């Protein structure tokens, strides 16, 4: 670290294949996720619990490979808007020197992609760009424990988004 600046962090690779119809984009992995090399590894993050309720499948008991397979089986991809950044701690507000992921190959990598859902407002800043590319977009309540909306309210918003035929798996 130079002069007290946080170190430059690199994100995780996308979970995506040619069958993906919906892509969920977060902002940048938490320190727990980076350490585990797994998306949403922090035990208090509600991401996997929300998807478990949406799919009515026991996602939380699966290992990470099983979770990835479940996402792809439901034609859902997962990635982050930032490829790298500097950040002290886990809060999106602490992100600095962020570099966006290169989304230009999405039409080639995921030709069936129709809808991009954003996990929280920070990721949601990219919604306009994705709309310009012809994708339907949904900015959803963050699954982070820092976002204090009740789980039932988060689930209702996520459920409504995935009821949209453009996002339906």
- The residue annotated as part of the active site, out of 27, 33, 45, 138, is 45
Residue 28: how many other CB atoms lie within 10 Å: 24
CA separation for the pair 80, 53 (Å, rounded): 22
Q: Are 163 and 155 in contact (CB under 8 A)?
A: no
101: annotated active-site residue: no
* Alpha-carbon distances of 140 from 82, 119, 158, rounded to whole Å: 17, 5, 6
- Answer yes or no: are the C-beta atoms of 110 and 16 closer than 8 Å: yes
23 φ, ψ (degrees, to nearest 5): -115, 125
Residues annotated as catalytic are 45
């Amino acid at each position: 670290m130079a002069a007290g600046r946080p170190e430059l962090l690199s994100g995780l690779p996308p979970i995506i294949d040619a069958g993906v119809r919906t892509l969920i984009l977060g902002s940048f992995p938490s320190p727990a996720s980076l350490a585990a090399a797994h998306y949403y590894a922090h035990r208090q993050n509600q991401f996997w619990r929300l998807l478990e309720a949406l799919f009515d499948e026991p996602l939380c008991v699966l290992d990470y490979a099983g979770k990835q397979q479940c996402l792809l089986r439901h034609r859902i991809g997962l990635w982050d808007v930032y490829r790298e950044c500097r950040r002290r701690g886990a809060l999106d507000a602490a992100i600095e020197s962020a570099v966006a992921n290169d989304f230009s190959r999405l039409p080639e990598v995921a030709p069936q992609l129709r809808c991009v859902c954003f996990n929280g407002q920070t990721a949601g800043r990219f919604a306009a760009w994705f709309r310009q590319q012809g994708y339907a977009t949904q900015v959803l309540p963050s699954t982070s424990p820092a976002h204090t909306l009740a789980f039932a309210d988060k689930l209702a918003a996520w459920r409504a988004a995935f009821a949209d035929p453009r996002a339906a798996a």
